Each structure stands twice: as structure tokens, then as C-alpha cells.
Amino acid sequence: MTTTTLLPIAERAAAPPALPEITAGNLTWRPATRADAPALLELKNTIAEVDDEPYREALEEVAETFDAPWRNFDTDSRLGFDSEGVLRAYAFVDTTPGDATTVRVFLWGGVHPDRRGEGIGRELLAWEIARGRQLLAATGKELPARIAVFAEDTDPESKHRLYAHAGFEPRRFYSDLKRDLAGPDAPPVPDVALDGSLRLVPWSTELDEPARLAHNEAFRDHWGSEPQTAEQWAKGRTAFAPQWSFLVVDDAPDVDALLADPWTDAETAAALRAGAPLVVGYHVASRFEEDFEVRGYTFGYTELLGVRRAYRGRKIAVAALAAGMRAFAADGMQAAVLDVDTENPSGAHGLYASLGYTKVSGSRMYSIEL
């Protein structure tokens, strides 16, 4: 087997010394601030409505993006206003501080539908890519690197062409799945009994950190996934629904065997030695009420579902997911919804199909690999 020697990240990132100007559309540009959240919400939801995207955002979601301490909106965002002071375009370059195998930046942005076709999006994307390259170079992490963007299948073809013209290639495809919980056609929710010392419990604050450790291990073999720091794990929870979230713990883990397992990471090993609870599987759910009208039904959303590698094959995922579905239904939700990578290595797509989930929409990730 041959290995490729990477050039230093500073060379691969090819960061420009200065960022390109955005002159198209004769807009006035400045960094975003938390006070811009209402205007950003209106613009983002207008774009989503025109492009027939299957979601809308809430003000709390937009405002919360400004709370993460690792983000610098002064340098990594731009808002474009017209002559009347109305927000017409936005851009944000996001980093992920926990990256350990691939260092990444994600580009988010959009142009008001009334101002498309003026070249604003092209120049805005060029600015984002340039800033993304600067951020990658600044990490100093000698790892493979990625600049990524996302698009819904419903987005206009011009958006997909814009990404292709800028050098992005389609890298991953995702399916948005739905499973009915009510009505004569809804399949029964499976009743799963866990074996041995495994126990299904509701999410709790005390088990949140053990759940983070479980997630980092469970997704280590998933393409594009990177460890989440405690800071990252705690953010982005505006829609978090603890009443719909469940964990599976092992009350009597074989500590010696787990410590000897090369798959056990350092943080989990330290927790095991300290006698901390061991979460081995989890179902983390969210409630996106703004999407109910858009989709035409109420639903609970499975944000995260995973099982530690050493515990796979013991129906832990099904038990946690089934608990979530019962909680959705108990609160009157008509459906269960989730997104899945079509090439998920754990066979999740087949699992969801066997439980009655079907595809309702899709999205994709484009990237520039460095």
C-alpha cells in the first residue's frame, strides 16, 4: 500500500495575503453582529421559501450561532446591504476546533432571490473560499484539509453550477427520511429488550459528557465526522428536546477489555479509570416547530443516533430510536424524521428502511479537498 506525503498545510491551503473585494450589486458590506439576527432570519427564510427547501429557521437558532467562542464574526462574516439598508446577501465561514483527522472549514451564504443574476453570489463565494484558505493555513494542523458547502436537491441549478465553477466537487449525498407514527399505515414501533448490564435511560445533565464521549467514538469511522470538543457539544442546542432523547448505559462494563481495545480513545479511557458512567448508545432529538407548516405534518427529529463500536450488534440503536419514536408519538407528533449519509458505514440506511423510514428529500455536500 502506498501513502501520500502531504505538503505543509500552509502550502496546500494557498491562503491569499488579502481577501478579494465584493463589488457586484453595489452593496455595502460589513461583518455580522448578534443584532443582525432578525434581518438574517428574514433573509435566510426568504431564500429557503423561494428555493423550496424543507426547513425554516427560528430567531433563537440564528442568534445562537453568535455564541460559540471559537467563531470570529469580525473576520469570518460579511453582510451586504442595499442603499435602503435592507440586508440582501450574507456569508459566514465556520471552523470546527475539534478536528483531528481532517481540518475543515464550512461556507454558508446566500443572496436574496430578487438580487440574483448580478454576480453577487460568485464574488461572495470567492471571498468565502479565500477566507477559508486563510483559516485553514492558520490552524497549523498538518492534516488533510477540506473546504465544504452544502446544497439541497431543491436548490436552483444555478447554485450547483456556481459551486462547480468555483472548483467544488460533489462529495457526499444525504437522504431526509420520514416514518409515520400515526394513522392506519404507520408500522408499530418495535419493542426491544436490552441484554446483560445494558440499561435505557432518559437523557440527563449528568450523562451529557459521557454521551459526548460515546458520540465521538461512535462516529470515528464515519466519513467526514470529527471529534466534538465539550464547547462544540454544548452549543447549537436551541431546538434540543431532552424529553425525546435517550441513552443506553452499561452498568457493569468490562473495563479491562475496553482499556485494552485499541478503539477506545484517551478520553473514554480516562473516564473508565475514574469510574464515570459509560454511555454506549444514544438518541439525541430536536424539535423544529418552524418546519411543521413547511412539511405539512408535525414531527420529532433524530439529531444524532450512535453506538460505541464494541457494543454494536446488540440492538442498542433500535432500542434508543424506538424510545425516541414513542416519545414523539406521546407528544402528538405525526412522524419521526432524520437525515442519513447514503454511504453510512454502520448500515444505518438499511436499519431505517427496516423500521419504515422512507426518503422524502435529499441534499449533498460539495468540497475542495486539499
| Contact assessment for residue 178 and residue 291, using Cβ atoms and an 8 Å cutoff | no
4 located within any domain: no
Looking at the structure of the chain, the number of domains it has is 2
Whether residue 36 is found in the same domain as residue 75: yes
Cell of 153: 436537491
Same domain membership, residue 223 and residue 75: no
Range of the domain at 43: 9-167
If residue 314 lies in a helix (H) or strand (E), which one and from where to where?
A: none
Same domain, 17 and 142: yes
- Statement to judge: residues 187 and 212 lie in one domain: yes
Chain centroid to CA 315: how far?
25
Q: What is the pLDDT of residue 2?
A: 40
Residues 156 and 226 in one domain: no
pLDDT at 1: 35
How confident is the model over 27-43, as pLDDT tens digits? 999 999 999 999 999 99
Give buried/exposed letters for 325-345 (b at 16+ CB in 10 A, else e): bbbbbeeebbbbbbebbeebe
Give Cβ neighbours of residue 167 (< 8 Å, ≥ 6 apart).
129, 368
Q: Note whether residue 15 is domain-resident.
A: yes
User: Is 369 inside a domain boundary?
Assistant: no
Q: Which pTM value belongs to this model?
A: 0.90
User: Which of 167, 184, 213 is the C-terminal boundary of a domain?
Assistant: 167
Same domain, 230 and 145: no
Are residue 118 and residue 188 in the same domain, yes or no?
Answer: no
Question: Is 368 within the bounds of a domain?
Answer: no
Do 72 and 201 have their domain in common? no
- Express as a percent the part of the chain with pLDDT over 70: 97
1: in domain: no
In a domain, 367, yes or no: no
Looking at the structure, tell me whether residues 239 and 331 fall in a common domain: yes
Q: Are residues 196 and 156 in the same domain?
A: no
For the chain, the first-to-last Cα distance in angstroms comes to: 21
Q: How far is CA 315 from CA 200, 280, 321, in A?
A: 12, 12, 10
Using CA atoms, how far apart are residues 269 and 49, in angstroms rounded to an integer?
Answer: 47
Residues 109 and 208 in one domain: no
Mean pLDDT of 85-96: 96
Q: Is residue 157 part of a domain?
A: yes
pLDDT given for residue 37 in this prediction: 97
What is the band of 161 on the pLDDT scale with cuts at 50, 70, 90? very high
One domain for residues 324 and 188: yes
Tell me, yes or no, whether 266 lies in a domain: yes
CATH number for position 92: 3.40.630.30
Residues 6+ apart with CB under 8 A from 148: 104, 105, 106, 107, 171, 365, 366, 367, 368
- Mean pLDDT score, 12-29: 95
Mean pLDDT of 144-162: 93
